[in-house]
Each structure stands twice: as structure tokens, then as C-alpha cells.
Chains A and B, each alone.
Chain A
Amino acid sequence: MTREPEVRLPAEHEMPAPDNEQTAPARRRRSVSARQASTDLALIAAFAALIAACSLLPALYLGGGLVPITFQTFGVLLAGAVLGARRGFLAVLLYLAVGAAGFPVFAGGSAGLAPFAGPTAGYLISFPLAAAITGFLVQRLPRRRLATSVPLILLAGLAGSFTVTHPLGILGLMWRADLSAQAALLTDLVFWPGDVVKNLLMALVATAVHRAFPDLLPSRR
């Protein structure tokens, strides 16, 4: 009596849903996809934890302790670049959900719903989308050669942070701190240099991961 292994978690190499007619190849296919679903779940959880560790690592404080600089965005975009759009998105979403539930994983060891109520909430909310955009682009990039892979992943990461993280961060500042667009943009500008450095670091590390685990991302379509 075997239970029907239902693969509900979005998997990158998802197979067609199994039906009740059990032929040998179908059973093997299902077993492969169930194994993939387990690995995907473990990878999503591991990267959520990695983002937490990146957020908790000793940080640099700018502006008299006002703006904590951590590796948080490094971890967020790396999840997208290494896991791809769907799993990367889910890993970051899981990280935010665990933090919101009260487990101390946000910058400076804070947790709970308070970080979502403050003026920097826009940045937090943008993270899953930024990972998804970066992952979407990296999945479609040539990843064979080191010389092209690093700059292309850097650009994908910058695309993720500049299409969603900075705009949503600015909107959050405008809404929650009631700043003018100009003042919010100036505040956001503080993050730009660090962001570029973290993206470069992300591209270097992601390239190393792609070389060590070539089957982690599905091959280019």
C-alpha cells in the first residue's frame, strides 16, 4: 500500500502529474520528481537560513547606527542566482515568514512584525521579487565561462535590486516616513555603493557554486 506521492512544491524539473494508471516508467518518473521535491524543499530552507546568517553576521553601521549594512541583500540575490527564480523566491519568502513569526533573523537580531511596520518595510517586501528577477535572468545566462559568467550575474543582480528593491524601498520611505520623492531617493542613494560591492561578491560566489554544482540550475532553455 503506497501513498500517492503528490509533488506539490514547485520544482524546476517538474514532471507531469502522475495518474492512477501505474506503468513502470511513470513510477520511476514520479520517484525522481519526489526526490527532486525533497531536495528543493531542503535547498529552500537552507538558503532561508543562509540569508538569516548573512543578516546576522557582524555588520557595518552608517549614519550613527541608523543604517545597518549587512550581507542580507547578498544572501537574497544569491538565493535567486543559485536556485533560480521559483526556488529563490520561495527561499526569501520563507526567510521573511520565519522572521515575521518571531524568530530573530532580521538585521541586528530583530524579529517579529515590527520591522514590517517601519519605514524600511519596502526593502524587506521587495526581497522575494528581487531574488525572482535575478534568478529568472541567471537561468537564461550562459554560465560556462568564468570571464562572462561573473559580469553577467553581476548585471542580473543589479537588475534585481534596481528594478524592485530600490523603487520599493523608496516607496516605503515615502509612505511610512512621509518623505518627499526627492528626500527618499537621497536616503536610498546611501545604499548604492554597498549594493554594487555586494552584487560583485554575489556574482563571484554564485559562479563558484555553478561550477561546483552544474546540475543545481536547469540547463538553459
Chain B
Amino acid sequence: MRLLHRLPAGVKLAGLLVFALLTVLVAHVVVTAGLLVAVLAASLWAGPGCAETWRVLRGFAIIALLVFGVQAWQHDLERAVVVAGGLLAVVLAANLVTATTPMDAIVDVVVWLVRPFRRWGADPERVALAFSLVIRAVPATMELAAQTRDAALARGLHRQPRAYLTPLVLRTVAGARATGEALHARGLTD
């Protein structure tokens, strides 16, 4: 049951790719239904569990229903099942991989994927550093967005996104320059 959690991230990502190709290449109702049942069982049993699977299903339900409706109307019921079911199966499989893989492991795969691009100036270590910078910067930027929005509201600029987006972006650039200086001073990007 813990197998999915223990598999290397790269293997899971490659498996996801094969799974996605299967849903597209094998257009048959029985195959689609089989894949859907398999990924649903894996999600409930070994993966993200009931609540998380339901959240993803609910978020995707409207799109799946719409796709199903358009296909059933323009073609036939069989094709509607294959297209909407295949789509749902890949979304659930992708969610299964994300839920059973720690973020670090996926970042490691990304860093590994960057290695062949070294000769064109890509640096795996710098990519890893960029990841950690973004993850730290997202909450700070959200906070900054809330601050600039409050400031705009205080000036009575309710309906002007520009009034808070401009200071938000200017402060982001200024902050990034300070961060760049700090990285340079510590020799982190040498």
C-alpha cells in the first residue's frame, strides 16, 4: 500500500506520462473505464484518500460534464465516455502523483532534468536556489499585495486595480534588487 509513496519521483512521473498517452491512444470504452476504476481505487486506497479525491473530482466535475455533453451531442455516447472519462482519469492520476510525492522529490527531478541544458547556460544548483526563493517569496508577495490594496482603499481608490498593482510591482522590483545584492554579498550565486 505504501508502494506508491516509496517509488522514486522520476518513475512516477514517467508512469504518469505513459498513463496519459494510454488514455489518448487507446480510445475504447472498456479501456477508459478500466483506467478510471484503477486510478480511482489507487487514489482512495493508497494515495490522497477520500476527501482529497472528492475535492479534485468536484473541482473538475463541471468541465468533465461539459465535455461529456458536447461529445454526446456532437458525436455519440461512447465517444463522450472515452473523452470525458480519459480526461478525468489523467487528472486523477496527476493528482495521485502529486499527493504521494514530497515537493522536494519533484524539485530534485526538475533539477535533474535541467542538467542536460548546462551547456546552454542553465545551472541546476541555481535552479534549486530559485525554487527556494520563490517558495519564500510567495507569502511575502501576497502580504505586500494585501498592504498595497489596503493603502489604495484608504485613499478611496476602490475600483482602480492600477492604484494597488503599481506600488505592488514597484516594491517587488525594489525588494528583488535588495535580495540580489544580498545573494551577491554572500556569494550564493558564484
On A, residues with C-beta under 8 Å from B are 3, 5-6, 8-10, 34-35, 37-50, 52-53, 56-57, 64-66, 71, 74, 78, 82, 94-95, 97-98, 100-103, 105, 108, 110-114, 116-119, 176-180, 183, 201, 204-205, 208-209, 212-213, 216
Contacts and interface: CB of A to CB of B under 8 A. Distances in A.
10 contacts: A3-B187, A10-B121, A35-B184, A42-B183, A48-B137, A50-B169, A52-B134, A53-B138, A100-B110, A114-B56
B32 interface: no
A139 B114 CA distance: 27
A43 B130 contact: no
Q: Is the interface of A mostly helix, strand, loop or mixed?
A: helix
B161 A201 contact: yes
A150 B76 CA distance: 50
Interface string B82-116: 01000100111111011101010011001000000
B135 A53 contact: no
B166 A178 contact: no
A53 B173 contact: no
Contacts of B170: 208-209, 212
A117 B131 contact: no
The interface size bin for chain B is 35 or more
Interface of B: 16, 20, 56, 59-60, 62-63, 66-67, 70-71, 74, 79, 83, 87, 90-95, 97-99, 101, 103, 106-107, 110, 118, 121-123, 126, 129-131, 133-135, 137-138, 140-142, 144-145, 161-162, 165-166, 168-170, 172-173, 175-177, 179-181, 183-184, 187-190
Nearest to B66: A66
A112 to B, nearest CB: 3
Nearest to B93: A117
B169 A49 contact: no
A178 B169 contact: no
B126 A9 contact: yes
Given A53-B145, A117-B90, A213-B173, A178 B71 contact: yes
B167 to A, nearest CB: 9
Contacts of B87: 117-119, 176-177
A47 B180 CA distance: 13
A56 to B, nearest CB: 7
B63 to A, nearest CB: 6
Contacts of B165: 71, 74, 201, 205
Contacts of B59: 108, 110
A142 to B, nearest CB: 21
Given A49-B140, A64-B62, A178 B94 contact: no
A201 B165 CA distance: 9
B138 A37 contact: no
A39 B177 contact: yes
Nearest to B137: A49
